[in-house]
Structure 1
Amino acid sequence: MLELFERLRERPPRRVRERLRPLLLLLGPAGRTGRVAKLFKERCEDERAPASHIAADTAATDISGVLREAMHELSQSACRPRWEPALRFPLLEMALWLRDLREIRLAGDPQPPRNASRAERENHRLVHTLTNPPVGDNESSRRRELGRVIRRRGRDVLRDMDEGRRGRISTFLGFLEQIAPIGVAIVAVVSAGTAAAVDLAAAILAGTVGLAFVAVQILARTRGWYGVLRYNWFRRQPYLSDGSPDFLSFALGVCDPRPVEPDDHAEQLDQLLVAAFLEDLRRNYRRDVRRAAWARVRYPVIIFEALAPGQVGVAFVETVERVRARAQRDADRPVFDPLVITAGVDPAEPADTDPHAPSGTRLVDRIAQAVRVDLASGEPADVVAAARLWERHRAEQRRVAELGTRRELRVDVTDFPAGGEPPAVRPGRRRPRLTHPWLPWVLMVAVLAGSISVISVNAFRYCAAFQIVRTASGECVGITDGSYTFGADGMSGGADNRMKPVLDRIERLNDEVLRSGKDYITLVYLGPVTADPSTRNRRLDLLAGAQGELVGLSIEQQRFNDASPDLRLRILVANAGAKFRYGAQVAAQIRDLALEDRSIVAVVGFEQSREQTRAAIRVLSKAALPLIGTANSYEAIGRLESGAYSPYFFRLAPTNQRLARHAAYWAANGRLGGRARTIDVIYDDDPADLYSRDLAGRFRAEFLKERPDGTVRMSAYRHPSDVARATMAACRSPQDAFYYAGRSDEFATFVNTIEQNCGQADPVVLADDEIAKYVSDHPKEIGGRGYRLYYTPLALWEAWSPQWVGPDRQRQTFYSDYRRIARAMAGNSALPELQPSETRAAVSYDAAAVITNVARQVHGEQDSVPTASAVFAALTDQGRDALPKGASGVLRFVRGPTGHLVQEKPVLLATVDQDGALKVEAVCGRLVARGQVAGDCPKE
């Protein structure tokens, strides 16, 4: 018996034609047939073969219930080998869904049951919409609504993934393997051939186009219209089809039954469900290009434990055979489906429970009669129908040739043993080795690896001095001459290409330098040129700082190149990633490049005081390159591993100590609108952030020196999600002002929280230059909000008014150039309201001008191209100003205990008016060499 069962469900190899399997009837009492059914089920489970066990006391009351149970069990992960996709039943699911809608419509109750599932509620809503369309738009609105829902169902190609990670992976791989391996392999071969025959650019283009085509194919198969194509099968069926022109018309006919229907409509619906079930199985086992279909070597089995008169299993077996017989009769060629059915039957059971049925007929004979094929019924045809007798005879011959005259096998299991191990049975056919689920992907990877090797070998023919690498976070970091736009690929924080105009400008100026044939020096900018990948709102990317610094560098580059007859300036842009995450990695690239390219004389940037920034400074200090820090203010940022401070690092920004002293003085002495006595300090407590915690602590100490009777409450956050919590904690008791020492990334959350939770009218906020990036992108928004903002920017155009530099002083010409260029760049941006930071543009302009100023002096004195060591020696000459007329003030470097810093670096106090205009309230430090107006400043 077990041998027979194995041979019934074993799929023959390709060389053997597949034929319909006969029905296996197990004759005996219900207890014995139940044990055999359990044995069959366990055997299928041991082999992970598809099988569905229908118990004698099944809850299914109709054919649709049997099909639901069989579909659920056949698609389980236990019914297939590991890493193989599950059997899928899209046609049956659609037919069952249409039947559910039909039942709801026939019930006439628009309200779903109280305990109805979400799917049942959606079905009731859809039936209500189809039953009550808008007046005057009946047919079109019904078709539109039904089509929308069906397209959504067709779009969910992977909707029926089974539970478990392995099951999801295998189903997804099964979906992709029809397209991806072959497509990617072809693209790889074409790209490699193009790289070898033409050039690398053409290979990249060919690969991009090919992969885009593959991606479009994959995407298309997940669209609703593609999934709906499979449902056109229903229109070709003889069941419930009244010549419908399309599937939507057919579906509406099923969902919306007529008031009076023929008696056979329910029977036709059952036959349609069975036909859909058999067609789904047929497609799952169709031997075409799909590897998974070839890998299935066991036919699916439905095991009925015991059939009884009136049980739904009897009707199911009879319906399956009627559908098969009709398919064989109507088709031009034999129609095969892989379903195997076994059923337990008591030989003594009567054929029917109806007391008026003929006596003596057994159930087993009734089932046998259902699967029997006779050549003719024996009834004569009249003279009109005689012409069709021959065609009917030929059709019946085809059925007999395919099905046979009797299609049941009977096994008497009355003496089936009650226990013990089953005997050994000859093992069934194994899965062909060429259909292993990983084989297509292994071949694809092999072809792809070979193609990549070919392309890599050919890539050595090209100059690749500027290398860009993609990090684990999705950011692109590395060095470019402006030809590569960071953030343009959409993987670097949604930068919206706001860097593109300034990078294009730098690239154009660099090309002019190379075309000039003149000697040139190279300045490398190192900074965070991409936003945090977690930032989805492009208006909160806070790239105004890096954008402004690049604008400032490009202004000095053009000015220097236009004015210098024999020497030019080239600029390279190095992206260290958001928050300087990859500062040390990119710094190593700069160091290696500087060993090859001796025109590199300095590195500028380092705007953020973080551990990663200090690591980058340590790497570059070993290359003996002058390093100009634009905006970082942490005193110990240049500390090396030995504990000493790097002699190569020059700081343009005031130190945290100087900034905290001035901010505390202004807060305590009424420059914020009143003498503050209580202040809440908000700061970032991240250990990797060197700036925030240090500035907060220094401000607290300085404020208590100014106001010994004052109170400073410290509120820390370590993660951006904690900013609101820390701010609300500070709002629990009244304060005179807030001092924000956190990062600009969280400033929006901070001000939103104080507006909504503090309950104060126009709270005063004092902040450092770090928020200049936020101010640059949101000046009008800040002016119209319910708080008053003061901050200490590193530089501002408004500080160069006669009020501060004296009536006889001319304004810095940098700002007029900056505003002209910024307006032009805004016109080329997708978000023109996002302006580069003027403050950061001024300090980066000064950083570049410091290098070009000393390089010009070295070039004039030595009559040779300046080197990094010569520029460093000139910068350390404390007898002269490195830049007498900087955009942020007079720059003279002095050697301090923590490295080189600017003597009397200006510190500004600025505010934002209600119309968004910036206003300078105080200026301290050396903004101009002579004639500066004295401000309200603490003692130096």
Structure 2
Amino acid sequence: MRWSGVSMREVTGQTQSTIGRDRFPAGGLEFFTLLARLLRRPRRGDRRLPLIWLVRTDSPDLMAPLRRFLGQGPRRRVPHAKLDAEAPPGAGGVPALLRELHRQLSLEAFGAARLRFRHYPLADWLMHQSLSFGVDADDSRAALVRRLRDRRGPRTAEALPAGGDAVSIVSQVLLWLIRRAVPGVVFRAAVSGRVPVIGQHYRWFMRQQYLAPRQSVTFLGFAERLTAGWRDGEQPDQVNKLLLHAFLEDLRQAYRRRPWRPSDWRRTAYPVLLLDNVTPDNVGGALLRLIGDVRTETGRNDPLLVVASGALAPPELPEPHPLTDADEAYDEWAEALPEMRRLRRPAAWLVVLRPDDTDTGPPSRGGIRPFSAPEPPWWSRRFLPAALCLVLLASGGAWAGSRWGPGCHPSLTGGRVAVEVVGGECVGYSDSAAQVFNDDPGQQRLRTIQERIFAQNRAAEEVWQRSDRRRPFLTLVYLGTLTGNRTRADEESYVSEREELEGMATAQYALLKESAGADGAALLRIVVANGGRQMRYADRAVAMLAELARDDPTVLGVVGLVESRTSTARALRELNQVGLPVLAPTLSADRMDANSRLYLQISAPNVDQVEMVDAYARQVLKVDEAHVYYTTLEGSSLTEDLYVGTLVDGLRQRFGPRISRLDEWRTGQRLTTECGYPGLLFYAGRWSEFDGFLRALRECGDNPPRHLVADDSANRYMANPGLRAAAPGNLPVTYVSKAALATCEALRAAEGRRDDARASFLSWIQAGDLLDPPRCRPDTGQPVGERVSLAYDASMMMVRAVESLAARLHHADPRQRWEPTSVNPVGVHTEVLRQNAGQGYPGVAGLIRFTPDSGEPVDKRLALMRVEQVPDVATAPVEVFRCGAADRPAPVACGPA
């Protein structure tokens, strides 16, 4: 029998180096085999270790053979400690047990370097300090500072010399500085927590979660709260958890594997705590409960394996497993642990085993072979550190001098990656899987499409190389908001960004499907860039993109920008200075093109949206009066939110006195005054508050407002089934759509009338190797997504412009290689305008035309979509009204669909 490299034969033995011919409970050998399996530390990563509770019966006790199993190894022994829960050393409950556990594990008696503790001894020392009551607070603080400093090393009382020659005086002053002044300054810097490298264990106390350390502002204030007397005002359970957390943190650090320290890899067996005479109500049971609570609450694992023995089983679990099923019990626990941790079950970490009451196993022929810690890997020997130190120092110095963080760092394996942490967000750009933006729960689809784009980047590069670099090759940057939103674990909060990336990925995919012999067909690489929440850090991202554009002549434009805000306008001005054109799929604030002469907008401006809503109210609803509510995202205002600001201004100008109410709506505000309102109720805010707006209308019950219309931002909400599920079921909603021509139904109809552009787009998004999940398949009914077609159109407009320039450049020699410097971003922008000056560009989401002096499209298609019940995500919205041209540049009047 074998589990993960541990066999029964390795546990039992025929030699003299065995524990003895003990009689064990039935299943004892299986239990020792499982124990050997758990003790062996994997070469890569670490395993989660359970709290094993042995329910003692009339069978022979396992604690004595366990002690011999761990303590009689011939070479490298397992670090272990044996404690008795009925007779803890001294008094003090859990702190006393931890003190004895620390003493036993700190011994250099296991054939390897001793375990070193830093956090726990400091916490325990502070709990033994007494600061006199009734004295001035500054005096008690000064006393604590002196004791802390003396704990690091006693000071020598040396006075400055009173006389002597100049050389003697200078030497004595320097000696005084070295012995007295410098250590004091270093100590103050360490406890302040503001200086990197030094004082890390002090900073840890201020960053951990127990006893609310932030309430103390500084470590010294937090340390005072731990001293005797002052500690009486704290919850004992929290104090015990802090002590235990500090102890486990020291074990985590002792077992941390760092590439620059080969000695870390010599710890090949986990430490063990043997805890005897445990009951659910004594100090041993309390310690087990605290270990489980700390592991669950901190979300961190530790390398301590606990084996407890007692006469009673913990009440939180069902019937214990037989000892003979020890390995099955462990595997069952390991599979259930993630869910148990998530639900915060009190016994999530326990594996309870019970020997058979009536039977004992025969003694093994040679007894149980004592367990020895496995030999460390050869490269962890002491002869390597000197060689590795020089290499790691060079790379470590560069790393320490930057502002990178976990999950946000430049690529060490190639690719164009430039990122830094700004305001807690990873800002910058990436074109490879070495950096995928946003690892928040629920955002897997956003990560998946980035990974798909990066895979297609590699494919495009390979196809270009195989074509002997004859095909045009361009790079487009997607710049958007990829981090910073607050989300639930099951909430997709970046629908717009994900859809725009899907649209660009579809354009990239279509170009990869071109024939290998089509030398005039362009290839597209996409760089994904993050400007932070609400584009707050777009200036930093643009600065990085400016360097990229200078170094890479294939970078010809930017797609995206997502939201119309003052930060977005600032980014447009900076991109204009860099000389990069911007094609914005969804920006619609009026006169955004005033910020850049290289700006082109794919969607109709707000003024067109207001005109359509007015026409719908007059022609279809037959109402004159309107109530308008607007919202601005937290931390924003109408001045900063250009989309909402220009939309509200346009409504004021268009409707005039017909708007009888124009109010800002805030979360929690009631809307009972709108119940049964017969006029136009228009929502002119951001999608993030639309859910709360609908919840407020739930109070209307069977008397909702008759005509609720929402702006185009609400389609981000309508694209999120999870948010729609809680909306009132009897409330119909009509909302603005910028891509009604690219719904599944519209695309199938276009395919039927042989509209090649939309038919091709439909075939791409239905492909099984592009979008996840594929769109518009009859068997799934997954909708396209509002912004997929818009971003596809923006990307393809740039691609067709480059192909047009390439055709003219290659006219004399079609076999000529593509030279990226032969075109420039400004020239591509000019070519886009030239191609769309007459008949316009036949976009999937509607005809796109520009005038020479404006970056806003002319007569771009807009529609109003209606859903009868918001929670009904299975029923597709219906187009009820439209404005703008679909395929021909002739003027089209607004009217019902």
1:834-873 alignment, distance < 5 Å: 838-863=785-810, 864=818, 865=820, 866-873=823-830
State the SS of the aligned residue for 2:448: helix
The Cα offsets for residues 387-416 of structure 1, whole Å up to 9 and x where unpaired, read as: xxxxxxxxxxxxxxxxxxxxxxxxxxxxxx
1:678 aligned partner: 626
Partner Cα distance (2:683, 2:146) in 1: 57
Deviates more, 1:808-817 or 1:456-465: 456-465
1:936 aligned partner: 895
Q: How far off is 1:603 after superposition?
A: 0.6
Q: Residues 837 and 852 of structure 2 are in contact (CA less than 8 Å); yes or no, is this contact kept in structure 1?
A: no
1:810 aligns with 2:755: yes
Q: Residues 850 and 883 of structure 1 are in contact (CA less than 8 Å); yes or no, is this contact kept in structure 2?
A: no
1:381 aligned partner: none
Q: Residues 529 and 576 of structure 1 are in contact (CA less than 8 Å); yes or no, is this contact kept in structure 2?
A: yes
Q: How far off is 1:565 after superposition?
A: 2.9
1:661 aligned partner: 611
Q: How far off is 1:777 after superposition?
A: 1.6
Q: Residues 542 and 744 of structure 1 are in contact (CA less than 8 Å); yes or no, is this contact kept in structure 2?
A: no
Amino acid at match of 2:736: T
1:596 aligned partner: 551
Q: Residues 49 and 81 of structure 1 are in contact (CA less than 8 Å); yes or no, is this contact kept in structure 2?
A: no
1:696 aligned partner: 648
1:212-223 alignment, distance < 5 Å: none
Deviates more, 1:450-459 or 1:580-589: 450-459
Cα distance change, pair 525–222 in 1 and its aligned pair in 2 (3 A): farther
State the SS of the aligned residue for 1:895: coil
Q: Residues 527 and 580 of structure 1 are in contact (CA less than 8 Å); yes or no, is this contact kept in structure 2?
A: no
Q: How far off is 1:501 after superposition?
A: 2.5
Q: Residues 728 and 753 of structure 1 are in contact (CA less than 8 Å); yes or no, is this contact kept in structure 2?
A: yes
1:530 aligns with 2:475: no
State the SS of the aligned residue for 1:477: strand
2:842 aligned partner: 885
Cα distance change, pair 803–757 in 1 and its aligned pair in 2 (3 A): same
Query: Structure 1 length as normaliser, TM-score?
Result: 0.51
Larger Rg: 1
Q: How far off is 1:210 after superposition?
A: 12
2:682 aligned partner: 739
Deviates more, 1:461-470 or 1:160-169: 160-169
Cα distance change, pair 520–763 in 1 and its aligned pair in 2 (3 A): same
1:925 aligns with 2:884: yes
Larger relative helix fraction: 1
Q: How far off is 1:867 after superposition?
A: 2.8
1:489-888 alignment, distance < 5 Å: 489-490=439-440, 494-516=441-463, 517=465, 518=469, 519-539=471-491, 541-563=492-514, 564-566=518-520, 567-640=522-595, 646-667=596-617, 669-671=618-620, 673-684=621-632, 685-704=637-656, 710-717=658-665, 722-725=666-669, 728=671, 731=674, 734=677, 736-757=679-700, 760-761=703-704, 763-778=706-721, 781=725, 785-796=729-740, 797-798=742-743, 801=746, 810=755, 812-813=758-759, 816-817=762-763, 819-821=765-767, 825-827=771-773, 838-863=785-810, 864=818, 865=820, 866-877=823-834, 880=837, 884-888=841-845
Cα distance change, pair 464–813 in 1 and its aligned pair in 2 (3 A): closer
Q: Residues 523 and 604 of structure 1 are in contact (CA less than 8 Å); yes or no, is this contact kept in structure 2?
A: no
Identity of aligned residues (%): 17
Structure 1 vs Structure 2 CA RMSD:
5.1
1:477 aligns with 2:427: yes
Partner Cα distance (1:815, 1:925) in 2: 21
Q: Residues 683 and 696 of structure 1 are in contact (CA less than 8 Å); yes or no, is this contact kept in structure 2?
A: no
1:354-365 alignment, distance < 5 Å: none
1:266-285 alignment, distance < 5 Å: none
The Cα offsets for residues 630-657 of structure 1, whole Å up to 9 and x where unpaired, read as: 11111232434xxxxx210111111111
Q: How far off is 1:891 after superposition?
A: 1.5
Q: How far off is 1:879 after superposition?
A: 6.6
Q: Residues 557 and 582 of structure 2 are in contact (CA less than 8 Å); yes or no, is this contact kept in structure 1?
A: yes
Partner Cα distance (2:272, 2:584) in 1: 47
Partner Cα distance (2:860, 2:801) in 1: 19
Cα distance change, pair 826–877 in 1 and its aligned pair in 2 (3 A): closer
1:191 aligns with 2:249: no
Aligned length: 553
Partner Cα distance (1:462, 1:497) in 2: 23
Q: Residues 678 and 711 of structure 1 are in contact (CA less than 8 Å); yes or no, is this contact kept in structure 2?
A: yes
Partner Cα distance (2:291, 2:739) in 1: 63
Partner Cα distance (1:216, 1:587) in 2: 53
Partner Cα distance (1:686, 1:214) in 2: 59
Q: How far off is 1:527 after superposition?
A: 3.9
State the SS of the aligned residue for 1:530: coil
Q: Residues 630 and 644 of structure 2 are in contact (CA less than 8 Å); yes or no, is this contact kept in structure 1?
A: no
Partner Cα distance (2:806, 2:272) in 1: 57
Cα distance change, pair 816–809 in 1 and its aligned pair in 2 (3 A): closer
Q: How far off is 1:488 after superposition?
A: 5.0
Partner Cα distance (1:699, 1:780) in 2: 27
Q: Residues 480 and 530 of structure 2 are in contact (CA less than 8 Å); yes or no, is this contact kept in structure 1?
A: yes
Q: How far off is 1:822 after superposition?
A: 8.6
Gaps (5+ residues) in structure 2? 1-125, 135-139, 152-207, 227-238, 274-283, 293-307, 316-390, 403-409, 811-817
Amino acid at match of 1:505: R
Partner Cα distance (2:581, 2:271) in 1: 48
Q: Residues 599 and 855 of structure 2 are in contact (CA less than 8 Å); yes or no, is this contact kept in structure 1?
A: yes
Q: How far off is 1:788 after superposition?
A: 1.6
Q: How far off is 1:803 after superposition?
A: 13
Q: Residues 527 and 574 of structure 1 are in contact (CA less than 8 Å); yes or no, is this contact kept in structure 2?
A: yes
Partner Cα distance (1:783, 1:52) in 2: 58
Partner Cα distance (2:639, 2:736) in 1: 24
Cα distance change, pair 460–860 in 1 and its aligned pair in 2 (3 A): closer
State the SS of the aligned residue for 1:769: coil
Partner Cα distance (1:167, 1:579) in 2: 38
Amino acid at match of 2:674: C
Partner Cα distance (1:598, 1:157) in 2: 49
Q: How far off is 1:698 after superposition?
A: 0.7
2:852 aligned partner: 895
2:396 aligned partner: 452
Cα distance change, pair 859–251 in 1 and its aligned pair in 2 (3 A): closer
Q: How far off is 1:570 after superposition?
A: 0.9
Cα distance change, pair 210–835 in 1 and its aligned pair in 2 (3 A): farther
Amino acid at match of 1:507: F
Q: Residues 795 and 888 of structure 1 are in contact (CA less than 8 Å); yes or no, is this contact kept in structure 2?
A: yes
Partner Cα distance (1:504, 1:683) in 2: 34
Partner Cα distance (1:656, 1:716) in 2: 18
Gaps (5+ residues) in structure 1? 1-46, 56-75, 88-155, 195-205, 230-244, 253-446, 641-645
Partner Cα distance (2:573, 2:266) in 1: 44
2:366 aligned partner: none
Q: Residues 506 and 792 of structure 2 are in contact (CA less than 8 Å); yes or no, is this contact kept in structure 1?
A: yes
Partner Cα distance (1:714, 1:883) in 2: 38
Cα distance change, pair 652–568 in 1 and its aligned pair in 2 (3 A): same
Amino acid at match of 1:547: R
Deviates more, 1:838-847 or 1:771-780: 771-780
Partner Cα distance (1:596, 1:904) in 2: 38
Cα distance change, pair 687–835 in 1 and its aligned pair in 2 (3 A): farther
